[in-house]
A and B are shown apart, each in its own frame.
Chain A
Amino acid sequence: MPPVQLFITCLTDSFFPQTGEAVVEILQRLGMDVEFAPDQTCCGQPQFNAGLRKDARAIAQHTIKVFEKTSGDIVTPSGSCAHHFRHNYLELFEGDAEWHPRAKALAGRVFEFTEYLVDKLHVTDLGARWDGLLTYHPSCHTLRGIHVDRQPRMLLQNVHGATLVDLPNAEECCGFGGVMSVEHPELSAEWLKRKIYNLEASQSPTLVVTDAGCLMHIAGGLHRLGKKRQIIHIAEVLNQR
């Protein structure tokens, strides 16, 4: 059986390594041979989104080369990075006879973590245990970018002991938006306020996300306001026994 490659993402690598460990443990428990290409860095989405395509292209070429040396599916605990590989890499190399096929080959190997579990491994119950309420924030690029929504919800439904409650206006962006959160902090702050308001309305002490970006943003807002709610990546919930 070919190994599974992990694209850890720069945010998870630098800020939330425990998420990455949960992903590894889950995949291993499912019998996968997990590999981590140590030369990987970032997918280049911040540069792409900011319009710095030359830089985004350089990072993309680096990433493509790193993963061309590996085999197997590439799993990433981020809908946003998965979306970047699938859509924006093709956009970056449109009309490039050498790099477009290479980008396309890479894009075909990439799966968001929950998508991989449910659609590729056909697993919906990981035997996880979590006592109490959970609510789920569908990250924009997971929900609307790669149309993954059913998968994380299914996995959360099957967490033993947990009750999944609705997050009001769940599909609204939390206001992270990568560069937007620093280019337009005032707008970002308004959405964050609304997301936190809705989170409190959900009554759930714990918010589950599929992306380190949203996690960092919402958790950072809660900390600034001195509010005690937990924001956690889905991999860590699914790895609870």
Chain B
Amino acid sequence: MGTFRQRIVESINNQTLQAALDANTERRLKGRAAAFESIPDWRERRQRAHNIRADVIEHLDEYLHQFIAKNEANGVIVHRAKDANEAIEIVLRISNIESRKPLIAKSKSMVSEEIELNHHLEKHGINVVETDLGEYIVQLRKEKPSHIITPAAHLKKEQVAQLFHEKLGIPYTEDIPTLTATARNVLREVFLTADIGLSGVNFGVAETGAVCIVTNEGNGRMVTTLPKTHIALMGMERLVPNLNDLALMLSLLPRSATGQKLTVYTQLLHTPQPNQTRHLIILDNGRSKLRNSPLKESLYCIRCGACLNACPIFRELSGHAYIGRDLSIAPYPGPIGSVISPGLLGENYVQLAQASSLCGACKDACPVDIDLPKLLTRVRAGQSLKDDGRQTMDDGAGLMWSTRFFLKAFARLATQPKLFALSQKFASFGSFILSPRSQWMRLPAFTGWGYSKDLPRFAGKTFRERFGNGKSEMVNRKVERQNVPDNDQQPPNVSTFKPVNLQEQFITELVALSGNVYQTDNVTQSIIEYLVSRDSTKIHLQPSVLDETLLRNAGIDVTYEADPGITVGVTKARVGLADTGSILEADEELLGSLLPEIHIAVLKSSDILPSLPDAMPLIQNKNAVFITGPSRTADIEMTLTIGVHGPKELHVFVDVSNSR
């Protein structure tokens, strides 16, 4: 127990860490609050999301069955892994290490942290490279992520600058865009040469088999598209029934995680690309056990990290201080981690649940309304499974012996009123002896209480003594009663309906995200003018999006093949989404928006839809991505930097020729 406390003290005393954590907390809380303002019906959404997740966990076997059958029909090779070892074995088998050690490009996956996948792959000589900027930084530092959304939230930019200087050989610089560009260049090479792309899964859609992956930097798109083999690794509980439910979840996940209305790249993968093999590994690793335990509700979690940001404990500690009895860092930190780390991985992590004041900030922040304080008290009661499979249910877990002794003694008194009253007299007498001249007692630090505060002296005469025989003897002096207006209702869930101009809303949203929007009734001509202004003479063009004769006449060379050397890609946008400023691309559009630094999309003004759910019927069985602005990251000091792995610039040309 001492060691967890030592780690806590180290974190508290680490000034650099505290500064980094304060910045992370403040920005995340503000960002989240602002993002939720745009959905005034969030309470209702949260309740619906809770019910959907409850239904999925209740009927998990049926949903999994449906999801797996769909994936197999879609040409995906599905594997089930009972535990970490089986999952690792499957990855090794796919990697076919006997013939050649593969290079694996990996995007973020908490499940891979849970099973310590990298560690095991490296043991077999496999080079696995993390491609999320934050994950890449912690991998270079040989650390574990300290936050499930922002893995390098514990670091200051000076530390990243020193790291890149030492490991990547660049001149020392604290300029965050330069650091980000360096990572882009190094990792671009990894994307283009990797044999295997490995990703996590944010949601699986049971009805269509879709695997949904969200990333801001664009690395998720790279690892799922470029290598010949894609392995998707998912926890077995991560399902939603259908695309409408997914749309609801996607209105809550990015808002809660990063304060965005939608993540930059929201991918829906159904079938493997031509010439690509896709493996889907569905991991149990304690989830079935958890599902049959009193901690079941923790499986509703959608891994947004909002409870970490809201938690005053996490704010002092960061993820690295959440350790088990064996000193290993828990894969999941924060309030949810203090439930699922012991829930999935056993007794080792039970002590984490004692570090909470049960203040409830986590429950308030949770987008699926998980009652985390209740679950924490269940872990404390010993209701997570013991390593030998037993459950004690009600006898305390992870408690110091002294606290346990005191509380048990107190419980004896509390059931015997006469003894209770007598012990109050003793306590009062004792405290007057200890502190005859002051109202306050100074207890030694080892008592816990005495560490930072004094204890008031017990009252000379308790309330029960003052009150007397159970009936008050005071004179009733009446005052007038007033009527109070009944304004205790929560704010109405119905948003005040205002008709909006979809095109204007789309433009406002996208421009706010550093996207560029042009309205034109001659798209080809406008794009030519733009290309000339940028000195671009060669573009990757999706067939029949622009008038190619005009392009050639203007001296612009057109190719249909993806080529990493080309800086401009022009594609069609199937639809736009007004409330998030997103565009939908699918199937043949996907390559043009992937590799080039500049992505130009052509969108018909009549194709702008109000919101994400309106676009879901168009998805059907396609591979699709909702693109919401240029690629971005905030992994270094929460500083927003535009342009990571995906395009650095997004230009949407809105074709208004039919709307006039």
Contacts and interface: CB of A to CB of B under 8 A. Distances in A.
Interface of A: 8, 10, 12-17, 20-21, 24-25, 28-31, 33-42, 44, 46-59, 61-62, 66, 87-88, 91, 118-119, 121-127, 140-141, 143-145, 150, 154, 171-173, 175-193, 216-217, 219-221, 223-224
Interface in B397-414: 397-400, 403-404, 407-408, 410-411, 413-414
A123 B484 contact: yes
Nearest to B438: A223
A31 B456 contact: no
B458 interface: yes
A181 B471 CA distance: 36
B481 interface: yes
A68 to B, nearest CB: 15
Contacts of A192: 452-453
Given A52-B396, A173-B312, A186-B8, A36 B467 contact: yes
Contacts of A91: 374, 377
Given A14-B424, A180-B357, A52 B407 contact: yes
Nearest to B371: A87
Given A49-B358, A52-B411, 7 more contacts: A15-B456, A17-B466, A42-B420, A140-B360, A145-B360, A154-B484, A173-B361
Given A15-B458, A17-B459, A182-B403, A144 B380 contact: no
A241 B5 CA distance: 48
B483 A53 contact: no
A14 to B, nearest CB: 5
Given A17-B462, A50-B403, A186-B9, A37 B470 contact: yes
A41 B422 CA distance: 12
Contacts of A189: 451-453
A36 B356 CA distance: 33
A91 B396 CA distance: 15
Contact of A54 (B313, B394, B403): B394
21 contacts: A14-B458, A14-B459, A20-B463, A34-B472, A36-B467, A41-B413, A42-B414, A50-B399, A51-B397, A140-B359, A154-B484, A173-B357, A179-B399, A179-B407, A185-B448, A186-B451, A187-B355, A188-B357, A189-B453, A219-B456, A220-B454
Nearest to A40: B417
B377 A36 contact: no
Interface residues of B, number: 82
A143 B359 CA distance: 9
A53 B481 contact: no
B360 A47 contact: no
Closest CB pairs A-B (n = 7): A177-B357, A51-B380, A182-B448, A53-B394, A220-B453, A189-B452, A144-B360
B8 A184 contact: yes
A146 to B, nearest CB: 10
B478 interface: yes
A12 B463 contact: yes
Contacts of A88: 377
Contacts of A186: 5, 8-9, 12, 451
Contacts of B482: 122-125
B500 interface: no
B25 to A, nearest CB: 11
B488 interface: yes
Nearest to B380: A51
Contacts of A53: 381, 393-396
Nearest to A188: B452
Given A179-B407, A185-B448, A48 B377 contact: yes
B448 A181 contact: yes
Interface of A is mostly: helix
Interface string B458-481: 110111111101111011111101
A58 B410 CA distance: 11
Nearest to B471: A35
A39 B417 CA distance: 5
Nearest to B488: A150
A50 B406 CA distance: 11
B455 interface: yes
Contacts of A59: 411, 414-415
Contacts of B255: none
Contacts of B452: 185, 188-189, 192-193, 221, 224
B449 A118 contact: no
B496 interface: no
Contact of B360 (A44, A141, A190): A141
B445 interface: yes
A119 B488 contact: yes
Interface in B1-21: 5, 8-9, 12
A172 B310 CA distance: 9
Contacts of B483: 122
B287 interface: no
Nearest to B458: A14
A118 B400 CA distance: 41
A104 B399 CA distance: 29
A191 B8 CA distance: 13
Contacts of A175: 312, 357
Given A123-B481, A182-B447, A187-B355, A47 B411 contact: yes
Given A25-B474, A182-B449, A176 B357 contact: yes
A188 B380 CA distance: 18
Nearest to A15: B456
Contact of B395 (A36, A51, A219): A51
Given A177-B356, A185-B449, A41 B484 contact: no
B472 A36 contact: yes
A17 to B, nearest CB: 4
Given A49-B377, A220-B454, A224-B454, A21 B466 contact: yes
Nearest to B394: A53
Contacts of B396: 50-53
Given A177-B357, A187-B355, A38 B12 contact: no
B359 A173 contact: yes
Interface string B333-364: 00000000000000000000011111111011
A185 to B, nearest CB: 4
Contacts of B364: 144
B507 to A, nearest CB: 37
A21 B381 CA distance: 36
A62 B472 contact: no
Contacts of B432: none
A20 to B, nearest CB: 4
B619 interface: no
B440 interface: yes
B382 interface: yes
Interface string B304-320: 00000000110010000
B247 interface: no
Given A187-B316, A220-B440, A51 B381 contact: yes
B163 interface: no
B417 A21 contact: no
A8 to B, nearest CB: 5
A53 B411 CA distance: 11
A55 B407 contact: yes
